[in-house]
Structure 1
């Protein structure tokens, strides 16, 4: 993993989380190159293993059994993971263009995004057919279809699958097996289900031998799957499919498993493509057009060694791709890779039976499925059972990455960093990064970034008071853009909790030292995320200070304006009030688990989505609903912030543990004893709980001490208005809002240390 003392000299950006790239990540994890930083950009956090997808559809595997957790794997490999959609590559400036976030610069890039069925080639297919790839979209369809079948009471259900290659045949049989089983278990007639398999070619499984084709023709006949070969599908309409021969079939669903191709944006890169819109690559896996861009997996056509689009080739391209990327950053020539001429295919039939196909040979049986299951599970364990890594960090040398004057300067500077004002990020670097940002301007900002000076100057409108707060913390994730958004959101939380309007913000940032271009991009990525949040809040960035340090960190001093007559304070709790929490808790334990590779990527995604959600609209709603007291839940945890409210209010409170909204996965990580480093300090407040001994084994008990980053609002309001307020908050986009307790009269003399009663 990257050491803070290790300047980044070269960036390798992996576009897509396919089978080749997971192999690259694993290989770099086991043998990293000092000074080289990996960044993985992928739309989805969990990437499916294609070999097990039919087994998942058939019900033999769970979602986690067949998906590789890219977030966890990237953390293990010391790589940055950006969850984003790639829309292009700017080769002139060597930047990967991402949707909804800043471009990502690269020195070397690799593309492993798989392929997608070309539904646009057939009239109506794009609107009325479901492509099997990307798998995320197909999975949503599949889960919805299962739900429909569970409640299907009347009439037949007809499903058409277009594409009679191995993928189409395997998916058809897996779907049929699972759906018939679901119908039987519910006492319904499985013969109401009808499957039709279409292909423009006149033979089944055209890349396999006659023996294997015969096996599947018999299997499909036994399973009453209707074959339509030699007549391409010409048009798809709502509930109707038409072939070029004029055959018309009423259908409920159409699945598309054929005519794959690359995404549209590849055409705009200027990279050489073949007739199927796949990247033309050389034996070294470099694209024909650009030595600095590699490609592997389904999206790549190795022009000297054309092969079928099969997962086995993507898997085997992983090691040579990783080795060639390493060779390139060291200034060495890449080596050619020669794929095998034939390969073993294990094709399942849905019912724990499989057919093996290789060259002109074929054999089948339940033992073949067990063999396939053993092979697939062994492959997946490579990316789930991650061995411990060596903590010894080696400082880079000139052989670690391509030697250059800029790199040499960065390496020699590692041990000679200045302190004091000399630790500032260079003015040229900073000005270039900030010049690309577009913070909003406000009429009440007299001096700010639009007219820089030694300090910012603001005016205060008549009848308003000034609210001022500050927050600062180091990065807990490797994505500076997302970190910038979270840091800005966290800093604004105190203003919103009091009912204030954000006016201005001054940034304080620390950026790891290194090559100017790398530092500049880090500053820009981080501040771009922060400025987006500030702009959305109507808050003007008016200045700041950026210095060099060991770790990335960011904070803001924020000013706000408030009506003195409408302040929500911590001391406003009243006996009988309802307590409302607007966001789920658990970020502390989740990110502690993430650092230990013990959190699922989708748990981390849910936490980040929550942390990036602003509290502004929630605060406005609470104020309009008559909230009397409010605070944002942050570092002291839910209990700590509640005690901060009960003490100045002179009241006690009841907290319903089962009503507290929690983030996905936090009860698992807390039960495993994975807690934030701040947890022990917060646990000291357990003395504030009445009869706390009886609650220590409750699964939610550790979570009330969990420190939060950019947490939700904890507020009180009259009980008769609470339900209506919760409904409004959920409609505004805070779906986890809950009434978590109530305020009670003080039961002990003033200053008592046990104001909180827990309930389940």
Structure 2
């Protein structure tokens, strides 16, 4: 994680990954503003470029060609990426309320979340129609429709509601793709029936008569039934009703009309227009709250109303970035006046397009090639990012941020020579405020803890129980302190669960970069909120800790657990038995993926999946393994699969065979390994290759490096009786570990010195 030389003085929070905000990220990547931190909050890691979406539906582009990787772009810009959804604004506290994480504070806020079809305005549309936005839901439904048409012969009737450029373009793209797919399978393309409904008397009403005529003729030529002047008044399962009372059959209904602002905006103080869009002035600031900006489809410039078109969102990126920068540095903002006319390039599905601007209408395959060139050049600005070097992301020391007297003193203190020892502790008032709203779980054995803080916690050991102690600590590998806190707590609990113990108490140790008190306080709060959430879910009470200043964010826990003193005291590494199988409960690859993420070499969805895996507790898996007769278990962490397996075979006095082909692997890990991107700990782990029989034979196997890949909050590796293995796997899958798999077997010791053999 890149650490800024200048402490964070101001926070600009971007809600939504629309076209304006990707422009803001790129502008700040090109010219960072010292002391200013960008944070992007977005539900989707990959945002589609609207100009290429019809081409994707038509089959001309791949998924990655039409999507901007927001997590990767944010990393390039030195911005935090928080994968979540905004659901409200605390104007007084200057915080964005999110669906599944603590509120995020801002000094300036910008909203670029696009518009949403208002299906609730028509009876039944919300239940039976598919709105084109949000795109991720439409994409999933489109894939389902595609599969259904291709694998279930028979007539399929598809209706599109909306006669603007978006509706017409989408219908033609869907028709082109589906008819082509059917023809390739030697089926009759006329199994498909398309119908278009629009309340207007003509198609594409904002474009000139020649454009209208071209698309009217195109739809007629392709057999599309068009109902103009028809307002859809009701939708039911398999049909829709026009305003004349006539019902029309439709197996799939796509809704591309009546867009409005997100419902949650109505509960804010923001001034909205009749469509629910945020009213902004010429500087793109909200008319009701100048600390909040808006751009793209969600915004309506009060002095320059325009129709919703992607060209405006793209053009607003630069003035939005410049005015956000000016707002936090105390400089005057500049007005933005959108153009009155703009060029629209509208495709017809089959690598043919129409250029429309004012009275201009140009058509032909060459127009599509022109549009394709423009679109690809636009996407290259955000996806073809240069590799990062060690110096990237380091802003110059001097800041232009306007500070008051108290903030100036704090900023000087933050960059001055800092004390060591106890002088490096985070201030008591900052710490107490950050922790005041956290509610660690209570356990009866805790006599003195955070509920009644003292010099140390006092915890009773229940009768018949023995204590299990462990400690883990590492620096942040992700810029989201809340997610980092969850993973750090989950990682620390892994040793407790691996030994078959229940977690009892935890003591935290954290370091936080210096900065303004409000920024330090929020970092501590976000990080510990994530950690306490995980600890509470595990029944583990946070009873104390220590927080100090440091150059990098880091977090660790000393965790105490309880185990019965009768019978087998614990699941030990030395309990493997010949004839057992080796079960691994989670996929491998976190080390290489996050090394690639730091170098812009990983796709955002790969990192999402890795974080989801790292955030999954091993508690249920450990219980399941014990129930199915596991006699040895360990959690995979920094030493990698091979290192931890060797730690099990040595005290057990056994050998083991691993099946490389069976290893569960996180998405993208094989790609990043193949690219030669390895964790910094990998070379130390590779020294254990001497434990592999005939290791030179396997060195070129594509999965061989994954044996040494260090894991963070990895899965459990256990020895289970072979006769109970299938039942154990079925139970693990049912409990939420779908990638749990048998990866090898335990063997009696052989004559070779090396205990590990491979196959694959």
TM-score (norm 1): 0.98
Show the 5 A alignment for 1:454-469.
454-469=455-470
Q: Quote the Cα distance in structure 2 between the aligned partners of 1:684 and 1:2.
A: 29
Show the 5 A alignment for 1:552-571.
552-564=553-565, 565-566=567-568, 567-571=570-574
Q: Quote the Cα distance in structure 2 between the aligned partners of 1:534 and 1:344.
A: 55
Contact 2:505 2:543 in 1 (8 A): yes
Show the 5 A alignment for 1:162-311.
162-311=161-310
Show the 5 A alignment for 1:584-623.
584-623=587-626
After TM superposition, give the deviation of residue 259 of structure 1 in Å: 0.4
Matching of residue 578 in structure 1 with residue 577 in structure 2: no
Contact 1:446 1:458 in 2 (8 A): yes
Q: Quote the Cα distance in structure 2 between the aligned partners of 1:302 and 1:402.
A: 30
Contact 2:77 2:393 in 1 (8 A): no
Q: Quote the Cα distance in structure 1 between the aligned partners of 2:367 and 2:5.
A: 51
Count of paired positions: 756
After TM superposition, give the deviation of residue 184 of structure 1 in Å: 1.1
Q: Quote the Cα distance in structure 2 between the aligned partners of 1:366 and 1:227.
A: 25
After TM superposition, give the deviation of residue 396 of structure 1 in Å: 4.0
- Give the structure 2 partner of residue 500 of structure 1: 501
Matching of residue 703 in structure 1 with residue 702 in structure 2: no
Q: Quote the Cα distance in structure 2 between the aligned partners of 1:387 and 1:698.
A: 29
3-state secondary structure, aligned to 1:416: coil
Q: Quote the Cα distance in structure 2 between the aligned partners of 1:118 and 1:413.
A: 49
Matching of residue 635 in structure 1 with residue 638 in structure 2: yes
Q: Quote the Cα distance in structure 1 between the aligned partners of 2:442 and 2:723.
A: 41
Matching of residue 76 in structure 1 with residue 79 in structure 2: no
Greater mean alpha carbon deviation, residues 301-310 or residues 390-399: 390-399
Q: Quote the Cα distance in structure 2 between the aligned partners of 1:143 and 1:568.
A: 46
Greater mean alpha carbon deviation, residues 529-538 or residues 460-469: 460-469
**Cα deviation 1:216-262 (Å, max 9, x = unaligned):** 00000011111011010000001111011112111101000000001
| Matching residue within 626, 638, 661 for 1:658 | 661
After TM superposition, give the deviation of residue 413 of structure 1 in Å: 3.5
Distance 1:587 1:360, change over 3 A: same
After TM superposition, give the deviation of residue 446 of structure 1 in Å: 1.0
**Cα deviation 1:546-589 (Å, max 9, x = unaligned):** 00000000000000001232421100000010000000000000
3-state secondary structure, aligned to 1:277: coil
Contact 1:2 1:34 in 2 (8 A): no
- Give the structure 1 partner of residue 10 of structure 2: 10
Greater mean alpha carbon deviation, residues 500-509 or residues 448-457: 448-457
Contact 1:440 1:541 in 2 (8 A): yes
- Give the structure 1 partner of residue 318 of structure 2: 319
3-state secondary structure, aligned to 1:306: coil
- Give the structure 1 partner of residue 550 of structure 2: 549
After TM superposition, give the deviation of residue 401 of structure 1 in Å: 4.3
After TM superposition, give the deviation of residue 270 of structure 1 in Å: 1.2
After TM superposition, give the deviation of residue 311 of structure 1 in Å: 0.6
After TM superposition, give the deviation of residue 129 of structure 1 in Å: 0.4
3-state secondary structure, aligned to 1:25: helix
Distance 1:333 1:304, change over 3 A: same
Greater mean alpha carbon deviation, residues 428-437 or residues 457-466: 457-466
| Matching residue within 713, 716, 723 for 1:713 | 716
Matching of residue 100 in structure 1 with residue 100 in structure 2: yes
Distance 1:572 1:3, change over 3 A: closer
Q: Quote the Cα distance in structure 2 between the aligned partners of 1:71 and 1:409.
A: 31
- Give the structure 1 partner of residue 376 of structure 2: 377
3-state secondary structure, aligned to 2:633: strand
Q: Quote the Cα distance in structure 2 between the aligned partners of 1:373 and 1:20.
A: 21
Contact 2:614 2:714 in 1 (8 A): yes
Show the 5 A alignment for 1:367-446.
367-387=366-386, 391=392, 393-397=394-398, 399-446=400-447
Contact 1:15 1:40 in 2 (8 A): yes
- Give the structure 1 partner of residue 40 of structure 2: 40
Q: Quote the Cα distance in structure 2 between the aligned partners of 1:480 and 1:325.
A: 24
Greater mean alpha carbon deviation, residues 2-11 or residues 263-272: 2-11
Distance 1:394 1:370, change over 3 A: closer
Matching of residue 733 in structure 1 with residue 736 in structure 2: yes
- Give the structure 1 partner of residue 472 of structure 2: 471
- Give the structure 2 partner of residue 49 of structure 1: 49
- Give the structure 2 partner of residue 137 of structure 1: 137
Contact 2:499 2:633 in 1 (8 A): yes
Structure 2: tracts of 5 or more residues without a match: none
After TM superposition, give the deviation of residue 392 of structure 1 in Å: 8.0
Distance 1:395 1:407, change over 3 A: farther
Q: Quote the Cα distance in structure 1 between the aligned partners of 2:303 and 2:212.
A: 28
- Give the structure 2 partner of residue 111 of structure 1: 111
Matching of residue 675 in structure 1 with residue 681 in structure 2: no
Q: Quote the Cα distance in structure 2 between the aligned partners of 1:454 and 1:4.
A: 34
3-state secondary structure, aligned to 2:416: helix
Contact 2:150 2:181 in 1 (8 A): yes
Q: Quote the Cα distance in structure 2 between the aligned partners of 1:413 and 1:341.
A: 49
Contact 2:160 2:254 in 1 (8 A): yes
Structure 1: tracts of 5 or more residues without a match: none
After TM superposition, give the deviation of residue 322 of structure 1 in Å: 0.3
**Cα deviation 1:421-451 (Å, max 9, x = unaligned):** 0100000000011111010100011111111
Q: Quote the Cα distance in structure 1 between the aligned partners of 2:401 and 2:656.
A: 59
After TM superposition, give the deviation of residue 2 of structure 1 in Å: 6.2
Distance 1:660 1:371, change over 3 A: same
After TM superposition, give the deviation of residue 723 of structure 1 in Å: 0.7
Distance 1:393 1:408, change over 3 A: farther
- Give the structure 1 partner of residue 91 of structure 2: 91
- Give the structure 1 partner of residue 347 of structure 2: 348
Contact 1:655 1:758 in 2 (8 A): yes
- Give the structure 2 partner of residue 151 of structure 1: 151
**Cα deviation 1:430-478 (Å, max 9, x = unaligned):** 0011111010100011111111111111111121111000000000000
Distance 1:402 1:328, change over 3 A: farther
Contact 1:486 1:612 in 2 (8 A): yes
- Give the structure 2 partner of residue 364 of structure 1: 363
Q: Quote the Cα distance in structure 2 between the aligned partners of 1:398 and 1:79.
A: 17
Distance 1:548 1:722, change over 3 A: same
Q: Quote the Cα distance in structure 1 between the aligned partners of 2:131 and 2:739.
A: 33
| Matching residue within 746, 750, 760 for 1:747 | 750
Contact 2:7 2:414 in 1 (8 A): no
After TM superposition, give the deviation of residue 412 of structure 1 in Å: 4.2
- After superposition, the CA RMSD in angstroms is 1.1
Q: Quote the Cα distance in structure 1 between the aligned partners of 2:669 and 2:505.
A: 35
Distance 1:433 1:47, change over 3 A: same
After TM superposition, give the deviation of residue 403 of structure 1 in Å: 4.9
Distance 1:713 1:388, change over 3 A: closer
Q: Quote the Cα distance in structure 2 between the aligned partners of 1:505 and 1:605.
A: 27
Q: Quote the Cα distance in structure 2 between the aligned partners of 1:236 and 1:520.
A: 51
